[in-house]
Amino acid sequence: MAYYDFVFDKIGLREWCDAGKSADGPVSMADLLARAGVEQETSALNVPFPSLDELHKACGSIAQSRDVTKGVETGFLAIKDVLRFVLDPLTQPLSWILNSALSGIEATPWWIMLPILALVVYFASRSARLVVFVMSCLMFLAFVDHYDYAMQTLAIIFVCAALCVLLGVPIGIAMSRSDRLQRMIIPVLDMLQTLPPFVYLIPLIFLFSITEPKLYGIAIILYAIVPVIRLTNLGIRLVDKDVIEAADSFGMTDRQKLFGVQIPLALPNIMAGVNQTIMMSLAMVVIASLVSAPGLGVLVLRGIRNLELGVGLVAGFGVVLLAIVLDRVTKAALDRVNSAQPR
């Protein structure tokens, strides 16, 4: 006998409930005790919450929680082919870009790649000390034979972070110019920001082949794009109204105000968003190794699967070094942007 039997008896739904009960369904412990004549002690302290499973015990016509999850799965599988038909051609360029970046960085010798990275770091920071620090970190990874893995990780981060900026900055600008659009997009950003990283992979595994780079590329972009959108929107909205009024008084068009006033003044916030996007891309790259993403995450996953402590710790330390390098370089670039702003 279920706890909530009396509810359905009182409202006259017993026949409807009994019609939904399965004759060969599992017998609960409460039913067995009731058949044996053992009375269960009931008190306010052990009243069960009227969940689907609890109500199903009293009324077989009410679905169980497993029926809800099964319905979600069935519904997704029903539209899977349509989604794949629409998304495959739209996302295929992402696979081509990632494959090209990985092939290019693997084909470039280390004695060419390291000077190129040194020039990029110096151009971004104008700091010789930071160049030495970055080169020391990369040479350490090469010394322990993790150079190829580190370069693969950097290639994926560069591609995904660049796409996050290309997509996120225009979305942030559009949000800053429309309160209605902001109200519509904010809940989506909240969901993307709070969804556990592993959950991003679940629907994508059903939509794309696990050998396709776009599988982990889409997951990384969805996970990492949020900061650059939020901070672009915030930075433009924080531009002083007096500056906007001065631009209006000079007869500037909306386009001129955006590119000549608002974006330059919002650039520190946008760069902060880029920094956070790069850090989140790195975090997701490691998790994406579960779906064939190359790089240091593969070694971390190998250490977990095979209980190889040394492999996992050294690869994890390599991820930490890359995180420090990327953070220092982007913060140095942000400092340069801030110092160039008018006081």
CATH 1.10.10.10 fits 79-340, yes or no: no
What number of other Cβ atoms are within 10 A of residue 204's Cβ?
Answer: 21
CATH 1.10.3720.10 domain position(s) in the chain: 79-340
Mean pLDDT per block of 10 residues along the chain (343 residues) reads 75 80 56 58 70 83 88 91 91 94 94 95 92 96 95 96 96 94 95 89 88 92 96 94 89 89 91 94 91 92 93 95 94 83 60
pLDDT of residue 59: 85
Alpha helices in 36-126 (DSSP H): 52-58, 65-107, 110-125
Chain centroid to CA 248? 39
Q: How far is CA 57 from CA 69, 107, 208, in A?
A: 18, 63, 39
Q: What is the CA 211 to chain-centroid distance, rounded? A: 20
Predicted local confidence at residue 336, as pLDDT = 84
- Backbone angles phi and psi of 218, in degrees to 5: -65, -40
Q: How far apart are CA 91 and CA 86, in angstroms?
A: 9
